[in-house]
Structure 1
Amino acid sequence: MFGQELREARTRRGLGLRSCAARLNYSPGQLSKVETGKRRPTQQLARAVDALLSTGDYFERLWSAANHGVPSVASGSTDDPLIAHELPNGKVVFVPASRRQFIQGVGAAAAASLLSTIPAAPAAAAEVKPLAHFQAAHRLLIDTDNMLGAANALPGVHEQLRSLHSIRQTAQGQDGQDLVNMQARFAELAGWLCQDLGDFEQARYWLDRALEWSYPAGDPELTAYVLARKSQLAGDMGDALGAVDLAHAAARQAPNERIVAVAQTYAAHGHALGGSPDATEASYDGARSTAERFDGQSPWGVWLDDSYIDVHRAHSLSTLGRHDAAVETFRAAIAALPAGFHRDRGVYLAREALAHAGAHDTAAATQAGLQALAIARDTRSGRTATELRQLDTALADQGGQHAAAFRDAMRDATVIT
């Protein structure tokens, strides 16, 4: 099983046998024997594969299961959440786990209130309806990301994706379609988490998988939303044309006004990256008016409101060199941000600080930058870290007491290095 999983994982990432072997310090012949089951993998190889393919500890657990066995499934309290667990033969079972184990499974000491969203486990694993528990895990992992950061949520998302891949092999009919829809949703979430951590290549990989799986899921809203998310990623990567083109594709396919408005918001920043202020403002105006017309129901873009559009417009204003206007817009939008959006507040404060630096207000830039830095320590957001590194460079050019204080704080903040 280890060898088959390795071959499939490296193929999905576009790695040939020789290229993968070179990166793992193996000969192609040795790695081929591992993949075909003629050579047993070592724990060192398993860890190296996890590091190379960004798979958490998946391959190390495969190695451990093969060498030490898998713990037996024991009954648990009906108040415990269920965890999808893959056996060495590829079968997925849902086993009761203590709340402490579930928290550790997503990598953080999450608040007890998060766990209240997990449905109570049935008395026997055979009674479990997998979809409901994947939905519950998806909600909990989104909350984990919002409160504790992407690094704490991503291992849990990878675990659910692995379980979905296995359980889908035997699912048929509507059950199979529902599960591939859930698989696409987890892939979109993985893309978002990788994007926030600054790993744009992995973000693009997972968004590509989400788009691919959205078609057999038969969910046009999801397809359009993923296209909009790919536009947002293109904007974060500085790809002006890609951001605009993907946003237009999302708007063409969107079945409701809210997703169109999300796409218009991301298209606007693409126009800003391309240096087109008139197109930027027109796209933001379009996003506002389109969002106001939406009066239906949709699970996508529920966070889209005037404050969200404003904070993205502020980023675009700063990109266009209109730093004073960006500062005022950032301040108003950040003040209206809901309390639970801790990580996003850090990103926006860092961008506000950059706008202050662009306006040559070093003291205000330092103040906002230090607030963002404190949040970055908590959330380990790659997006915040990227903005703060740019601020560090900008303040180095300006000099002065305030700039020196921020730069000292940056040197002490290992999360940003």
Structure 2
Amino acid sequence: MAEEIGDDEAALRWTDRAVDLAEAAGDHDLASYAFVRRALITYYKGNAADTVALAARARSRRFPDRIRGLAAQREAQGHALAGDYDACMRALDAARLLLSSGQHDTEAPALGTTHLGDPAAMITGWCLVDLGRPRQAAKHLDRECAAIPGHALRTRARYGVRRALAHAVAGEFDHSCELTGRLLQTTDCVGSATIATDLRRLARTLARHPRRPAFLAISAHLNASLAPAGR
């Protein structure tokens, strides 16, 4: 919750507290997942090197496959941020195998999102945006977003905004505006600082064509959603 309101320092403190409590209770795996959580904060700060380094610390073979898979996904996002396509795809391949294996580990806690049918496929689309391949990204994200359950509002908002961004960067302006308009009520409801990061990037991309009717139809709501008082 602290992370979602944009308080990274509090988010890190609570992460450390959760690790301390888990270790006191005999759960030593949560400490490894904390690296994945910390890497998400550095990702949203635009720090590719720290994102990769933190995620890599959770990929030890002594940790459960699901945690290693989530770490590999985060590492892939860091590589994408750095523009390293090959390293990103290798990490995604590892994530796919580990998460598939982790599904059979009934003792492992359900860490990370549980609303994605194929997390590695969705994160592939996410990474392709950062890698400057928006058309490929849009194909992945279109397919995977269609499979998100209707009640999973935060997940729909998070990946839906990234999907709209992919279409915008690919030059599919009107379609991106249409997707954005459908998402704004959900993003307002969720009120997430991390989702707002992508929404601001999307807004900057769409604002390059301020006179287009599709943009004018959503601009007031989009600006209100991004205003400090609206979050």
By the TM > 0.5 criterion, same fold? yes
Pick the aligned partner of 2:196 from 376, 385, 403: 385
Higher RCO by CA contacts (8 Å cutoff, separation 6 or greater): 2
Once residues 135 and 59 of structure 2 are traced to their aligned partners in structure 1, the CA distance between those partners, rounded to angstroms, is 31
Query: Over residues 164-223 of structure 1, what are the superposed CA-to-partner deviations in whole Å (9 max), with x where a residue is unaligned?
Result: xxxxxxxxxxxxxxxxxxxxxxxxxxxxx2222333232222223333444333312211
Once residues 194 and 313 of structure 1 are traced to their aligned partners in structure 2, the CA distance between those partners, rounded to angstroms, is 27
Pick the aligned partner of 1:289 from 92, 97, 110: 97
State the one-letter code of the partner of 2:150: A
Answer yes or no: is the 8 Å Cα contact 1:346–1:375 preserved in 2.
yes
Q: Secondary structure at the match of 2:57?
A: helix
Q: Report deviation, 1:405.
A: 2.1
Q: Structure 1-normalised TM-score?
A: 0.50
Residue aligning to 2:130: 319
Give the root-mean-square deviation of aligned CA atoms: 2.1
Whether 1:410 and 2:218 are equivalent positions in the alignment is no
Answer yes or no: is the 8 Å Cα contact 1:220–1:254 preserved in 2.
no
Residues 347 and 258 from structure 1, CA distance in 2 versus in 1: closer, same or farther, beyond 3 angstroms? Answer: same
- When structure 1 is superposed on structure 2, of 301-310 and 235-244 the one drifting more is 301-310
Once residues 95 and 195 of structure 2 are traced to their aligned partners in structure 1, the CA distance between those partners, rounded to angstroms, is 25
Once residues 395 and 377 of structure 1 are traced to their aligned partners in structure 2, the CA distance between those partners, rounded to angstroms, is 18
Q: Secondary structure at the match of 1:252?
A: coil
Q: Structure 2-normalised TM-score?
A: 0.88
Answer yes or no: is the 8 Å Cα contact 1:254–1:260 preserved in 2.
no
> How many corresponding residue pairs?
225
Answer yes or no: is the 8 Å Cα contact 1:257–1:291 preserved in 2.
yes
Answer yes or no: is the 8 Å Cα contact 1:346–1:371 preserved in 2.
no
Pick the aligned partner of 2:37 from 229, 237, 240: 229
Q: Secondary structure at the match of 2:150?
A: coil
Q: Secondary structure at the match of 2:58?
A: helix
Q: Report deviation, 1:280.
A: 0.4
Pick the aligned partner of 1:247 from 21, 34, 55: 55
State the one-letter code of the partner of 1:258: R
Answer yes or no: is the 8 Å Cα contact 1:288–1:309 preserved in 2.
yes
Q: Secondary structure at the match of 2:118?
A: helix
Q: Report deviation, 1:307.
A: 2.5
* Structure of higher CA gyration radius: 1
Query: Over residues 44-86 of structure 1, what are the superposed CA-to-partner deviations in whole Å (9 max), with x where a residue is unaligned?
Result: xxxxxxxxxxxxxxxxxxxxxxxxxxxxxxxxxxxxxxxxxxx
Residues 412 and 320 from structure 1, CA distance in 2 versus in 1: closer, same or farther, beyond 3 angstroms? Answer: same
Q: Report deviation, 1:338.
A: 2.4
Q: Report deviation, 1:287.
A: 0.6
Structure 2 spans left out of the alignment, 5+ residues: none
Q: Report deviation, 1:313.
A: 1.7
Once residues 382 and 306 of structure 1 are traced to their aligned partners in structure 2, the CA distance between those partners, rounded to angstroms, is 24
State the one-letter code of the partner of 1:276: D
Residue aligning to 2:110: 300
Answer yes or no: is the 8 Å Cα contact 2:52–2:75 preserved in 1.
yes
Once residues 254 and 315 of structure 1 are traced to their aligned partners in structure 2, the CA distance between those partners, rounded to angstroms, is 28
Answer yes or no: is the 8 Å Cα contact 1:241–1:270 preserved in 2.
yes
State the one-letter code of the partner of 1:406: I
Once residues 203 and 273 of structure 1 are traced to their aligned partners in structure 2, the CA distance between those partners, rounded to angstroms, is 22
Give the percent of matched residue pairs that are identical in Structure 1 and Structure 2: 28
Q: Report deviation, 1:259.
A: 1.1
